[in-house]
Amino acid sequence: MKKNWIIIAIIILIVFLLYGLVKGYYNQMVTLNEGVSERWAQVENVYQRRADLIPNLVSTVKGYADFEKQTLTDVIEARSKATSVNIDASQLTPETFQQFQNAQDGLSSALSRLMVVVERYPELKANQNFLELQAQLEGTENRIAVERQKFNVQTREYNTYIKKFPQVIFANLYGFDEKPYFHAEEGAEKAPEVKF
C-alpha cells in the first residue's frame, strides 16, 4: 500500500515538473511574441507619423504654381498605398511583410523625387514652413531607422528562442512561427555615384 502511494507521488511530481517546464517555455514564447508585436506597433507608428506629415508638405509645396504637379500626384498616390497596407503583428509572414515594405519603399522613393525637384526652387527651399516640415520629415526618417533596428533586435531574440531545443517542439506545437526581419533595400550595398 505504501509503495503505491510513493509511485503516485512520483507520478504527480513528474506531472507538475512537466507542467512547469511546458508552462515556462510557452509563457516565454508569448512574452517574446508580444515584444515583437510591440516593436511592430512602434514601426507602424513612426511610418504613420511620416504619412501624417506628407499632406502638410504637399500643401506647402503646392503653393508654388510652376511646381511639377506629377511629382505631387506621385507622392499623394504613394502615401495612399503606404497607409492602406496595415498588417497585424500576429500575421507577419514574409509575404505580408514584403507587401508592407514595398508600399513604404514606394513612398520613400516618391519623397526622394520630391526633394530632388524642390532643389530647383530656391524660394521654396527658403520657405519657413517647408524647412520646418523637411526637418520633421528627416527626424521621422531617423526614427523609422531606429524603430526598424529595435524591431530586428526583438525579432532576433524571439526567432532564436523558438528555434532552440526543446522550445522548437513547443513552438511548432503551439503555432509560434518565425518572424521576418527588415532588410536593406535592394542595391543599398552599392555606394551611390557622385558627380560634380
| Per-residue pLDDT tens digits for 135-178 | 888 899 999 999 999 999 999 999 999 999 999 999 999 999 99
Q: Does residue 25 form part of some domain?
A: yes
pLDDT value at position 195?
39
Span 13-40, average pLDDT: 93
Q: Look at residue 190 in the predicted model and tell me its pLDDT.
A: 53
Reported confidence tier of residue 187, pLDDT bands at 50, 70, 90: low
Contact 85, 103 (CB under 8 A): yes
Burial class of residue 148 (count of CB atoms within 10 Å of its CB; 0-12, 13-18, 19+):
buried
Domain of 113, in residue numbers: 2-174
pLDDT at 132: 86
Q: Kindly give the residue spans of alpha helices, DSSP state H, lying in the chain.
A: 2-62, 69-84, 94-118, 122-125, 128-163, 167-174
- Asked if the structure places residue 180 within a domain, the reply is no
Cα 187 from Cα 94, distance rounded (Å)? 20
Number of compact structural domains in the chain: 1
Structural domain includes residue 23: yes
Domain assignment present for 50: yes
pLDDT in tens, 35-77: 999 999 999 999 999 889 888 888 877 766 455 677 788 888 8
Does 84 map to a domain?
Answer: yes
pLDDT of residue 14: 94
| 186 within domain boundaries | no
pLDDT confidence bin for 116, thresholds 50/70/90:
confident
State the average pLDDT over residues 103-111. Answer: 89
pLDDT of amino acid 111 = 87
Q: What's the CATH number where 119 sits?
A: 1.20.1440.20
- pLDDT greater than 50 at residue 196: no
Residue 175: partners with Cβ closer than 8 Å, 6 or more residues away: none
